[in-house]
Amino acid sequence: MSSFSQSLDWIAQADDAVFAMDVADRIVIWNKGCERLLGRPASAVLGRRCADVLCGRDLNGNVYCVRNCPVALQAREMPQDPVNAFELRVQTPREGVKRVRVSVYGLASVRPGLSSLIHVLREADAAPSALEQRLAVEARLGAGPDGGRPRNPDADPASLTPRELDILRCLAEAMPTSGIAEKLAISPVTVRNHTQRILQKLGVHSKLHAVVHAYRNQLI
């Protein structure tokens, strides 16, 4: 893959626990891997601040996850100094405190206000996944999520239909096209057509940033 434009597809298809947050540090994507690893369904975390969900502490028990997170700042504002993977102790509903390894990748956008961060989580003793390795390569290459293309000047987010909003909500849960089609009882081709119209109306060029835009503008 040559750019971050397919990041949401990676998230939907990955076995990894992956979530994304917008510039306000609100969680806008939460995949099935996160649900399994941390025991929290997407419906319980989407739209909430990352620090309020993870409530992570370092290995000495000190509070690590806070609002205005310095790690998020580094990932967004200091691409020349990438965030190193780090370990957290996270409280889970079923298993109590769990040790997880976290890798963070900044995804800038050509459209102001739509930058986002991808978090990949794994068991503390597990080796880095193929997804982490690919994201690290993309980050080093400096590929932008929208391929450097300008926004659509005719974008009209107010014209999203109820069906398109349904699909946006499914995308926020990192559902693949096939899963959306099954849930909404429509064909995969129809899902793809709706998704393309959503991108055009919002003036973005990736599904990930369509979801970020939707949360930022309270469309979902």
Q: Where are the domains of the chain?
A: 4-141, 157-216
Where in 9-141 does DSSP place strands (E)? 17-21, 27-30, 86-92, 96-107, 116-123
Alpha-carbon distance values, 130 to 80, 91, 102 (Å) = 22, 26, 14
This prediction has a pTM of 0.80
pLDDT band, residue 157 (cuts 50/70/90):
low
* Paired tokens of 83: 């965030």
Q: What is the mean pLDDT of residues 138-145?
A: 55
Question: Which residue do the tokens 């205005």 mark?
Answer: 68
Architecture of domain 157-216: Orthogonal Bundle (1.10)
For domain 4-141, which CATH number applies: 3.30.450.20, 1.25.40.10, 3.40.50.1980, 3.30.465.10?
A: 3.30.450.20
Q: Is the pLDDT score of 44 beyond 60?
A: yes
Residue 7 CB neighbour total at 10 angstroms: 25
Average pLDDT, the chain: 84
**Ramachandran area for residue 106 (φ above 0: left; ψ -120 to 50: alpha; else beta):** beta
The residue type of 62 is N
The pLDDT of residue 73 is 87
Q: At what angle do helices 207-216 and 188-202 cross, to 10 degrees?
A: 60
